[in-house]
Amino acid sequence: MRYTIGELARAANTRVQTIRWYEQKGLMPCPERTQGGQRRYDEAALRRLKFIRHGRELGFALADIAALLSLQDDPQAPCRKAHEIAESQLADIRGKIARLQALEKELQNMLCPRPDGTSATCKVIEVLANHALCLHGRH
Amino acid sequence: MRYTIGELARAANTRVQTIRWYEQKGLMPCPERTQGGQRRYDEAALRRLKFIRHGRELGFALADIAALLSLQDDPQAPCRKAHEIAESQLADIRGKIARLQALEKELQNMLCPRPDGTSATCKVIEVLANHALCLHGRH
DNA sequence: CTACACCCTACAATCGCTGTAGGTTCAAGC
DNA sequence: GCTTGAACCTACAGCGATTGTAGGGTGTAG
């Protein structure tokens, strides 16, 4: 089974350009080409693309995914590195969740009263104008 | 009290370039200049900058903040618009939280076993390679 | 053989900054 | 008044991860 780039994109729920971009960045291998120069992919390419997309859905940076792919390519490689990458990603996600929950609270607070009146009495604008949010760390 | 751009940046916990960038984008007004061409700001500018930064901390896009600022500038403007912006921001944040919690779960699942062994037996890589994450909606 | 959907490359734009280069200005100390 | 040096100026490039555009070429079904 050989895929055109468009078929591969549909199969992995991605865009055509994204695949070409991964190729340019070295995450996807340069595939075979037809005589006319069009890319043709195989099953292995589809698996690799899904791996990348799944990693992206989990919030991994492309550099991290590249590292995980090279670990995957070498079955002898120690797992510790992959573990470290995933662990730091988990810590990152937990930080983001905590931060977003604080934002959620403050926004809820803004939205308590009815959305009537003029901006002079608007709580949304009042909150933004008067309170400083103290969130430690960066997003 | 007049501030240099550096003082303003420190007072609002921002960078100098960021202020110039907000000016370029029309969020901050063009301030007075010294004869030599350096910017000098007043208290109103500081309040405006803090408003912007607070909005950014809450995850509002600059376009949204621009809209909120123009509502703030007109005390007669109806509050409904501000309310809508904040409400859609809240929905967005709740979506992000749900999404990140799903990621957290999956990452935790990846990290259950000890980080020993080779990548052939690595759960992190196995999960990425084999499971499709079904998260509805975009981040 | 003709349509037409799909593919190609190359490059610009997005968002919200951050960093760099190369030069100018301001305020303090002498 | 003069020198120093930190802070300022403009202009532009770069980041990450795409997305969009322009201007063509290719592959396949009818």
Banded pLDDT at A139 (limits 50, 70, 90): very low
Query: Does residue B17 sit in the same domain as residue B49?
Result: yes
Better-predicted residue by pLDDT, A87 or B33: B33
Query: Does residue B38 sit in the same domain as residue B50?
Result: yes
Rounded distance in angstroms from the CA atom of residue B30 to the C1' atom of nucleotide D10: 15
CA distances from A101 to A48, A90, A117, B108 (A): 34, 16, 28, 20
Lowest pLDDT segment from A128-132, B36-40, B43-47, B124-128: A128-132
Better-predicted residue by pLDDT, B66 or A57: B66
Instruction: Evaluate whether B74 touches A120 at the Cβ level (below 8 Å).
Output: no
- Whole-number pLDDT of residue B135: 40
Query: Does residue B64 sit in the same domain as residue B32?
Result: yes
Banded pLDDT at B24 (limits 50, 70, 90): very high
pLDDT tens-digit map of A3-18? 999 999 999 999 999 9
Query: Does residue B27 sit in the same domain as residue B66?
Result: yes
Question: Per-residue pLDDT for B49 more than 80?
Answer: yes
Better-predicted residue by pLDDT, B94 or B31: B31
pTM (predicted TM-score) = 0.76
Query: Does residue B49 sit in the same domain as residue B115?
Result: no
The mean of the pLDDT values for chain A is: 82
CATH number at residue A69: 1.10.1660.10
Q: Strand C: which nucleotides have any atom within 7 A of a protein Cβ? A: 6-10, 15-20, 24-26
Query: Does residue B116 sit in the same domain as residue B128?
Result: yes
Query: Does residue B70 sit in the same domain as residue B85?
Result: no
Report if residue A73 sits inside a domain.
yes
Which residue segment(s) compose the domain that B14 sits in?
1-77
Question: Per-residue pLDDT for A138 more than 60?
Answer: no
Q: Give the separation between CA A65 and CA A69, rounded to whole angstroms.
A: 6
A61 touches strand D (CB under 7 A): yes
B34 touches strand D (CB under 7 A): no
Query: Does residue B88 sit in the same domain as residue B46?
Result: no
Instruction: Evaluate whether B23 touches B29 at the Cβ level (below 8 Å).
Output: yes
Query: Does residue B52 sit in the same domain as residue B31?
Result: yes
Q: Give the separation between CA A18 and CA A117, rounded to whole angstroms.
A: 46
Query: Does residue B11 sit in the same domain as residue B69?
Result: yes
* Domain limit, last residue, from B77, B94, B120: B77
- Whole-number pLDDT of residue A104: 83
* Domain limit, last residue, from B57, B77, B97: B77
What residue of A is the nearest CA neighbor of B59? A103
Question: Per-residue pLDDT for A24 more than 80?
Answer: yes
Report if residue A98 sits inside a domain.
no
Query: Does residue B47 sit in the same domain as residue B8?
Result: yes
pLDDT tens-digit map of B5-18? 999 999 999 999 99
Average pLDDT, integer, range B71-98: 81
Q: Give the separation between CA B43 and CA B3, rounded to whole angstroms.
A: 8
Average pLDDT, integer, range A99-111: 80
B138 touches strand D (CB under 7 A): no
Cα-Cα-Cα-Cα dihedral sign, residues A83, A87, A89, A93: positive
Total domains present in chain B: 2
Q: Choose from A51, A60, A100 for mutation: most chain B CBs within 10 A.
A: A100
Report if residue A14 sits inside a domain.
yes
Inter-helix orientation angle B80-110/B123-130, to 10°: 120
- Whole-number pLDDT of residue B90: 85
Query: Does residue B127 sit in the same domain as residue B59?
Result: no
Q: Give the separation between CA A37 and CA A66, rounded to whole angstroms.
A: 26
Contact assignment for A59 to B90 by CB distance below 8 Å: no
